[in-house]
Chains A and B, each alone.
Chain A
Amino acid sequence: MSRQVKVRVWRGDKNEGGLKDFDVEVNEGEVVLDIIHRIQATQAPDLAVRWNCKAGKCGSCSAEVNGRPRLMCLTRMNTFGPDETITVTPLRTFPVIRDLVTDVSFNYKKAREIPAFEGPKGLKLGEYRMSQVDVERSQEFRKCIECFLCQDVCHVIRDHEENKESFAGPRFFIRLAELDMHPLDTLDRRREAQEEHGLGFCNITKCCTEVCPEHIRITDNAIIPMKERVADVKYDPARWLGSKISRREERD
């Protein structure tokens, strides 16, 4: 059952590095992360890689496999040709720390810039009421496992360090959309999406949706609706207030 494959892994740190070749055994059902672990256990014990659950649930083992942003734990080895060389490199959008590990602190910084959920005042514990259809829209975005593959692939920041300051990226557009569509959130998220987080930079190429391991429809269900609402409400707070009130009446 087992066979040998050629794997090229980027090794190095912020100063220097390059691709290193390994010949590795592959067994039935294995994924790229198994192969990286085998290299660690048998050939390069200090090979740095992030991983946790190995089940596509934590979003830690993000890397680029043959140039494509992937979770290594969900990339099956049998999806490659028998003689294909597999190249594994760190996420390009973020600075390298060591080997396959990058500095993703950009994302944690952006997370802090989005005001938290602000629920209605005066409700006691257990008094929240929301209907299933209403929570489902936001629930789709809360499936996000923060693997940051969408951030990695996004061309606004992938090769444009200069845009990082004013652009939060797809992960945080779905966070904004999630809060905006939360049936009980009381803040207006739209103007800040445009003005603070750079929603306007996105020209909906849908690369983020394509790489999302959770199959969240980032562009169609979050970014485009947010863009439409931003256009709707732009500089007209009265209309925003009206829309919130009418939504609430529909619910009741």
Chain B
Amino acid sequence: MTEIERHPYDVVVIGAGGAGLRAAVEARASGLRTAIICKSLFGKAHTVMAEGGIAASMGNVNSKDNWQVHFRDTLRGGKFLNNYRMAELHAKESPDRVWELETWGALFDRTPEGKISQRNFGGHEYPRLAHVGDRTGLELIRTMQQAIVSLQQKDAKEFGDAEARIKVFAETTITEIIVNDGVVAGALGYTRESGRFILFEAPAVIIATGGIGKSFKITSNSWEGTGDGQALALKAGSRLVDMEFMQFHPTGMIWPPSVRGLLVTESVRGDGGVLTNSEGRRFMFDYIPAVFKEMYADNEEEGDRWYKDQENNRRPPELLPRDEVARAINSEVKAGRGSPHGGVFLDVSKRLPADVIKKKLPSMWHQFMELADVDITKTAMEVGPTAHYVMGGILVDPDTGAADNVNGLFAAGEVAGGLHGSNRLGGNSLSDLLVFGRRAGAGAVAYVNALGDARTAAPDAEVERAVKEALAPFKNDGGENPYTLHQELQQTTNDLVGIIRTADELQASIGRLAELRSRLSKVTVEGNIQFNPGWHLALDLGNMLLVSECIAKSALMREESRGGHTRDDFPKMSSEWRKVNLVSKATDSGVSVEKRPLPKMPPELISLFEIDELKKYLTEEELTELKGSHS
């Protein structure tokens, strides 16, 4: 058997972005020995790229804001497919999670009274996003990183060993959760530097690995977003929910080609940027959907006035939820009204003076100057949709983050599903990480404490099999190049599982994915096991293929258009489909998808909405029942 390093822990957190680090702080604060597994260096996780802010109804800028308003906005954004309990917890707990960051040293931008400043964002009724210029994600990750370091400093004092109770395993990738009869026994992975295998023996594993963007050709995601956690959960026997809902952020860079997909923050629109087509028309006024008619300005004058007077005007439609804006841009380009490189124009230069732009949007200014030779204080940006975020994910218990069907497995952050329904609002991701990172940490602690000494051992045969599978690409002589296979996968999802979908294309994509899967077993890796990116990609590819199959099959099953899932052959939203979640699980032959009823919102939450609004989403039957209970 290959030599394996073994480390016993109480809690293993896979992923060192916002959710993973928040979970780890919680676990360690309860005194449990905690390992953080970090695919890259500590502090480089994709959270770092979040720009706009953290949504939390602190009410610092508009005192009318509160958790109920945030809850409503989140459900509207998700088109009422959200897990109500997650949306409730999220709206209630976000403010404390943001304030807590301050006590760890975070420095948010301030209001004139010295409170945390809050900015406008798509789909949020009031200014709600705590921010640091347009680098809020960096602030979050650094603050969490430094919070972990401060815990290590305490351990150094107490035990003479900084890593006594919390240790970061940098550049380490988990390939399998080791499960014994439906109970977590640990996790197996390799370190990039040496290529050696490590077995983490632990009763609780928290998955916080983020998204699946790297399955798509045009994406805002970094290389790490390869669906590892979703695939780990599936392979361990858990299930995924809502995988058909993929968020295409409306504004990614489109030129030059090497930066295509790179995010252009929504703050550009929040701070006054307007979208125009090649004819100079502010086309978003043509795309306000019926469900949002009352809430958005229907003429430019009112939209413009809103930036100065939000009490008496409705917001401009550039600030509609992301799915609406992305589809609108897509339609404009298809209709031949696109920009020279196939996007539309986003212009903030006419609204704000150059020095204000540089102050409010410093990273955007640098990004365009350095990568595209475009000065956004003088000219418009060219932008188009980019695969950004997967709403779906591991099916979890809202309160504890416990993953479906596997004892000892937890999940939080983008890798978990439910909170965002069919579409996530900007700013709700960073708050998601903190609220549910903490809850998953607490959930794992409660589980481990209840377990006592009854820990499950990792079966040697399982571990051996997992090691063998991870090393397989070195033994294959099929000659497939992992980089080529990855490009073909990205092309497939781009062409067939993109922003607008049809049954024929989805069917074709499932065939293509099966073919790619059979070629995966022929991937050959050159070189040795030390820091070998070809090998790493070969392993990541398996995850991307498995999760892409969940996306394609769920998308084929859902015969309606809602949020991040648009079917050209079923263009309308269906009240019947709103009652259903699609749940994916792994089978011997790949992935199977089945329907599951959406948990029903209790009266105290549903009564936060007016009946007139609910009519747009609920079935006649549900409305009758509701009216009965109201009277």
Q: Which of these, A13, A103, A115, A138, contacts B107 with CB under 8 Å?
A: A138
Asked if B58 CB lies within 8 Å of chain A CBs, one says yes
- B76-84, B134-142, B464-472, B499-507: which lies at the A interface? B134-142
Q: Which of A16-24, A48-56, A195-203 contacts B (4 or more CB under 8 A)?
A: A48-56
Contacts of A52 in B (CB 8 A): 40, 44, 46, 48, 222-224
Cβ distance B359 to chain A, nearest Cβ, rounded Å: 10
Type the 1/0 row for A138-154, where 1 means its CB is closer than 8 Å to any CB of B: 11001111100000000
Give A119 to B104 CA distance when docked, in angstroms: 8
- The residue in chain B whose Cβ has the minimal distance to the Cβ of A123 is B103
A45 lies within 8 A of B482 (CB): yes
User: Contact between B533 and A47 (Cβ–Cβ < 8 Å)?
Assistant: yes
Interface residues on A, range: 35 or more
| Chain A neighbourhood of B533, CB < 8 A | 40, 45-49
Interchain CA distance A182-B48 in the complex, whole Å: 22
A129 and B114 contact, Cβ closer than 8 Å, known pairs A54-B262, A57-B49: yes
Residues of B within 8 A of A76 (CB): 370-371
Q: Is A246 an interface residue (CB 8 A)?
A: no
Q: Which of A49, A101, A144, A182 meets B105, CB within 8 Å?
A: A182
Contacts of A123 in B (CB 8 A): 103
Partner of B370, one of A45, A74, A143, A144: A74
B40 close to A29 (CB less than 8 A): no
* Residues of the A chain whose Cβ atoms lie less than 8 Å from the Cβ of B142: 142, 144
Q: Is B250 an interface residue (CB 8 A)?
A: no
Measured CB to CB, the nearest residue on chain B to A60 is B44
Asked whether, in the complex, the Cβ of B149 is within 8 Å of the Cβ of A55, the reply is no
| Residues of B with C-beta under 8 A to A84 | none
Please tell me if B66 contacts chain A, counting CB pairs below 8 Å: no
B68 on the A face (CB < 8 A): no
Number of interface residues of B (CB under 8 A): 73
What is the CA–CA distance of A136 and B371 in the complex, to the nearest angstrom?
26
B527 surroundings in chain A (CB, below 8 A): 45-46
Query: Which of A13, A49, A128, A182 is most buried by chain B, counting CB atoms within 10 A of its CB?
Result: A128
The residues of A that contact B152 with a CB separation of less than 8 Å are: 112
Residue of B whose beta carbon sits closest to that of A214: B366
Residues of chain B within 8 A of A42, CB atoms compared: 483
A239 to chain B, nearest CB (A): 25
- Cβ of A126 within 8 Å of any chain B Cβ, yes or no, is yes
Assess the A48–B223 pair: CB atoms within 8 A: no
Q: Contact: A58 with B256, CB < 8 Å?
A: no
- Verify if A97 is at the interface (C-beta below 8 Å from B): yes
Which of B92-100, B176-184, B430-438 forms contacts with chain A?
A: B92-100
A131 to B107, CA, bound (A): 11
The reply to whether B150 and A116 contact each other, CB–CB distance below 8 Å, is: yes
Shortest CB distance A60–B (Å): 5
Query: Taking the complex as formed, is A111 at the interface, i.e. its CB lies under 8 A from any CB of chain B?
Result: yes
User: What are the residues of chain A within 8 A of B40 when measuring CB–CB?
Assistant: 50, 52, 58, 60
Tell whether A115 pairs with B153 under 8 Å between CB atoms, given A29-B259, A41-B483, A50-B40.
yes
Q: How far is the CB of A37 from chain B (nearest CB, A)?
A: 9
Say yes or no: is A125 at the interface (Cβ < 8 Å to chain B).
yes
A116, B367: Cβ atoms closer than 8 Å: no
Residue on B nearest A27 in the bound complex, by CB: B257
Q: A29-B258, A57-B48 are in contact. List 17 more A-B contacts (CB 8 A).
A: A29-B371, A45-B534, A46-B535, A52-B48, A52-B222, A54-B259, A55-B371, A60-B41, A101-B531, A108-B170, A112-B153, A125-B103, A130-B114, A131-B114, A142-B138, A143-B138, A146-B44
9 A–B contacts from the bound complex (CB under 8 Å): A31-B258, A41-B484, A53-B48, A54-B222, A57-B138, A58-B49, A98-B193, A130-B107, A185-B105
**Which 6 A/B pairs are nearest by Cβ-Cβ distance?**
A29-B256, A46-B527, A117-B105, A116-B150, A45-B534, A129-B114
